[in-house]
Amino acid sequence: MELFNSELVYLISLMLGAGALAGIAAGLFGIGGGLIVVPALIMFFPMLEVPPEYVVHMAIGTSLSTIIFTSFRSAQAHHSKGSVDFHIIKIWWIWLVVGSILGILFAASLKAKTIMILFGCFLFVLSFKFIFPNIFKKIKLGEEMPGGILLAVLGIFLGSCSALFGIGGGSISIMIMSLYGTEIHKAIGTASALAIPIVLPGAIGFAIMGWGQEGLPVGSLGFVSLIGLVGIVVTSMLTAPLGAKLAHKLNPITMKKVFGFYILFTALNMLRENLF
């Protein structure tokens, strides 16, 4: 495949667009952009002649690598507004790393179709959190984050799911922090920073997992596409601060519902393609 043919230029253009949306989503919802990036890459990678058995793993690995940059930029923007709780990061990060490593090992043992079915189920359930954003609003499990075994279990669960599905984990961590009394804007900003100890080992793990595999496209570092990484990061780094600003200005209920219906549509499409 020629490095700069018209097809590749078209794909890079699409990835730039996906990156722009991912950056806004990262700043707006603290989700790292993976919920947008993974489905997009699963659609794009077959056009880059990625072998079918590697498409999902490459989408996840590449998504995790982009979230390193997106989340850092988003967390930086939120920190400038005083919306990052470093105490939560300090007590939680090690369990997120452990969970991320377990998620990588789990992904290595699963077929692509199985991961897609699990991802579709995860998105289906998650969509209702956004469509009905007030469903957990009145529920409080505590006034501060728990400690001990419960904190470890929550961190490992969050890290493993995030690494398995190629997301930053913001959708889960925001819900957990909100249930334990963290103010929503601080939860969003903190979630952006919490994504980094999840996605950094995750991206490294997928790069190692795919190292030496035959048939990967030009510019691959294991199961991480450097072409996809650059194309997405270029625009996501620019638009993440915009998302952070919008998070403080737009009606959060309306934006969550719109995003929820996008997630629901994506989930149903994934389940349809892999179950039937």
DSSP assigned state of 225: E
Q: Contact 184/178 with Cβ under 8 angstroms?
A: yes
Question: What token pair was written down for 141?
Answer: 């499990």
Select the more confidently predicted residue: 30 or 42. Answer: 42
What does the alpha-carbon distance between residue 36 and residue 211 come to, in Å, rounded to a whole number?
A: 25
Q: What is the mean pLDDT of residues 133-146?
A: 73
Tell me how far CA of residue 12 lies from CA of 17, 44, 80, 104, 139, in angstroms: 9, 10, 31, 27, 44
Q: Are 243 and 70 contacting, i.e. CB atoms less than 8 angstroms apart?
A: no
What is the DSSP secondary-structure string of 161-183? HHHHHT--SHHHHHHHHHHTT--
Tens digit of each residue's pLDDT (9 = 90 or more) over 183-218: 877 888 888 888 889 999 999 999 999 898 887 877
Mean pLDDT over 102-110 rounds to: 91
- Give the sign of the dihedral formed by CA 155, CA 78, CA 123, CA 49: negative
pLDDT of amino acid 26: 67
Q: Within 10 A of 9 (CB to CB), how many other CB atoms are there?
A: 9
- Residue 193 and residue 117: Cα distance in Å, rounded? 28
CB-based burial, 63-77: b 16+ in 10 Å, e otherwise: bbbbbbbbbbbbbbb
The share of the chain scoring above pLDDT 70, in percent, equals: 92
Strand partners, 82: none
Distance CA 22, CA 3 (A): 25
| The total number of residues written for the chain in this structure | 276
Average pLDDT over residues 209-232: 85
> Residue 107: pLDDT above 80?
yes
Higher confidence at residue 91 or residue 184?
91
Higher pLDDT, 248 or 92: 92
Q: Are 50 and 217 in contact (CB under 8 A)?
A: yes
Confidence of residue 1 (pLDDT cuts 50, 70, 90): very low
pTM: 0.84
Maximum alpha-carbon separation in the chain: 57
- pLDDT score of 98: 95
pLDDT of 242 strictly over 90: no
Reported confidence tier of residue 137, pLDDT bands at 50, 70, 90: low
Residue 248, judged by CB atoms within 10 A of its CB (0-12, 13-18, 19+), counts as middle
Q: How buried is residue 162: exposed, middle or buried, by Cβ count under 10 Å (0-12/13-18/19+)?
A: buried
The letter for the amino acid at 211 is W
Lowest mean pLDDT among 91-95, 153-157, 239-243: 239-243
What rounded mean pLDDT belongs to the chain?
Answer: 83
Are 162 and 169 in contact, with CB atoms under 8 Å apart? yes
Distance CA 248, CA 146 (A): 27
The stretch 18-46 carries a mean pLDDT of 77
